[in-house]
Amino acid sequence: MTTVAALAAELAAGRSTSRALVEQSLERIADQAGEGARAFLKTYADLARAEADHADRLRRSGLVRSSVDGLPISVKDLFDVGGDVTRAGSKILADAPPAARDAPVVARLRAAGAVIVGRTNMVEFAFGGVGLNAHYGTPRNPWDRATGRVPGGSSSGAGVAVADGMCVMGLGSDTRGSVRIPAALNGIAGFKPTARRVPREGAFPLSFLLDSVGPLAQSIACCAAYDAVIANEPAVPLAALPVKGLRLMLPRSSALEDLDAQVGKTFELALSQLGSAGAIITEVAMPAFDRQDQYFKGGGFAGAEAAAIHRKWSHRIDEYDPRVGKRIVLGDRISGPDLVEIGLLREAYIREVDAAATPFDAILIPTVSCVAPTIDEVSATDDAYFRWNARLLRNCGLINFLDGCAATVPCHVPGTAPVGMMVCGTTLRDRHILAVANAIEGAFARNR
């Protein structure tokens, strides 16, 4: 699977068909040498073939519903698909009644002609950034697969499915990095929109305040195409921004510290490439980024909200992944005054970052401070798991707490460990941030 633009051109020229692309997708998922069995929890093979045939008939009659018409996609297991059970990566919900209708984002994708080939694996109830699932298995990262590295979470299956060519786009959710972490670790693009732009109804929640819905795909332009669909906005091309003259903030803070040697070296090289292309990169002290222990104290908003959401199943907590269950139980300890304090901190944080970001086109930080660790090392002990989880979540969570938007752009040299550069913006700057990320992606491509 290549980009939306390339595949749309193939379809328009009659060199391919939607049915052929779907068959390719299903074959890739079924490949016993690959990760399809762990990346997908369910496939819709017959329905996908029927929808692909319908898309081909419409195209032959001259009707193309959108730029993504006829292209195979996946949806994370927490989205409602009419007639199917939404398990959210858990066995607790395996016997729940089927969804009565598609989630609004799923319905919008169908209306645009997207062909859903299946539901992707995820961390149980989206509660984790590592990507492990104790119930359904963990898909291995395509990079260094023989070693067995984590896919990142919580949209683990989506990241592996897109990186491994099983679909053109994986629809994910992001509460503290669950789109951007797997995108960065798997070497693809991902976009977390401002939460309010994309409806979250019909998606099993982790946090009512911090959840957002976004795409993982091969390029920023692909993400932008799907973002327009799910946000129900006009499908206008991104502004063609030159890298030269872009005003980019480098926030001097803990977000740039304690980086893996590979991440630090790759990020510095990427900054150098942007500078050579004429971008104006300015270091700015950002102490607001150093207070995460206060923003996410005791699990923060998501911890308290998860405890409330899962209260009805508290008598079944032993059936959860123990590491997920522990985090949900901890949420009961967050007091009302704690939440008030966190809310006030968030208001102050948003004001502080908004003021600092105003002169700039975007803020740049590494998406994740490390390359993908091995499944064995993160699974060794609970202490190891929670330490790695915090490390993976660290930078991405800053943007959810900001109520902002961010794209992750692969910035590593092909063949080396995947590293993402996060291009961040404040509330409702989404299309501008996508345009900046697209320009940055182009600059990296010219240097390869």
Ordered DSSP codes for 334-354: --HHHHHHHHHHHHHHHHHHH
pLDDT (mean) for 107-121: 98
Q: Is the pLDDT of residue 443 over 90?
A: yes
pLDDT (mean) for 250-273: 98
Helix (H, G, I), strand (E, B) or coil at 319: helix
Q: Tokens 């799910």 belong to which residue?
A: 230
Active site residue 192: no
pLDDT (mean) for 345-366: 98
- From edge to edge, which strands make up the β-sheet containing 405-410? 40-43, 115-120, 72-76, 169-174, 212-217, 189-192, 405-410, 420-425, 362-366, 247-252, 280-285
pLDDT (mean) for 146-171: 98
State pLDDT tens for residues 385-410: 999 999 999 999 999 999 999 999 99
pLDDT (mean) for 292-312: 96
Q: Which of 76, 207, 253, 379 is catalytic?
A: 76
Q: How far apart are CA 204 and CA 87, in angstroms?
A: 9
State pLDDT tens for residues 421-435: 999 999 999 999 999
State pLDDT tens for residues 52-84: 999 999 999 999 999 999 999 999 999 999 999
Pair 410, 420: CB distance under 8 Å: yes
User: From residue 317, how far is each of 96, 166, 323 by CA, in Å?
Assistant: 17, 34, 11
Q: How confident is the model at residue 214 (pLDDT cuts 50, 70, 90)?
A: very high
Active site residue 25: no
User: Considering the entire predicted model, what is its pTM?
Assistant: 0.98
Q: Would you state the pLDDT for residue 387?
A: 97
Rg (CA), the chain: 20
Q: Residue 350 contacts by C-beta under 8 Å, 6 or more apart in sequence?
A: 402, 403, 426, 427
pLDDT (mean) for 108-115: 98
Q: Is the pLDDT of residue 109 over 90?
A: yes
Active site residue 272: no
Q: Is the pLDDT of residue 448 over 90?
A: no
Strands 72-76 and 169-174: parallel
Helix (H, G, I), strand (E, B) or coil at 399: helix
Q: Would you state the pLDDT for residue 409?
A: 98
CA 107, chain centre distance (Å): 19
Q: Which of 25, 66, 154, 173 is catalytic?
A: 154
Strands 40-43 and 405-410: unpaired
pLDDT (mean) for 148-155: 98
Q: How confident is the model at residue 1 (pLDDT cuts 50, 70, 90)?
A: confident
Domains of the chain, first to last: 4-230 (3.90.1300.10), 247-295+329-446 (3.90.1300.10)
Q: Would you state the pLDDT for residue 447?
A: 86
pLDDT (mean) for 263-272: 98
Q: How confident is the model at residue 256 (pLDDT cuts 50, 70, 90)?
A: very high
pLDDT (mean) for 39-57: 98
Q: Which of 74, 178, 219, 379 is catalytic?
A: 178
In one letter, which amino acid is 214?
A: G
In one letter, which amino acid is 391?
A: R
Helix (H, G, I), strand (E, B) or coil at 201: coil
The percent of residues in the chain predicted with pLDDT above 70, rounded, is 100
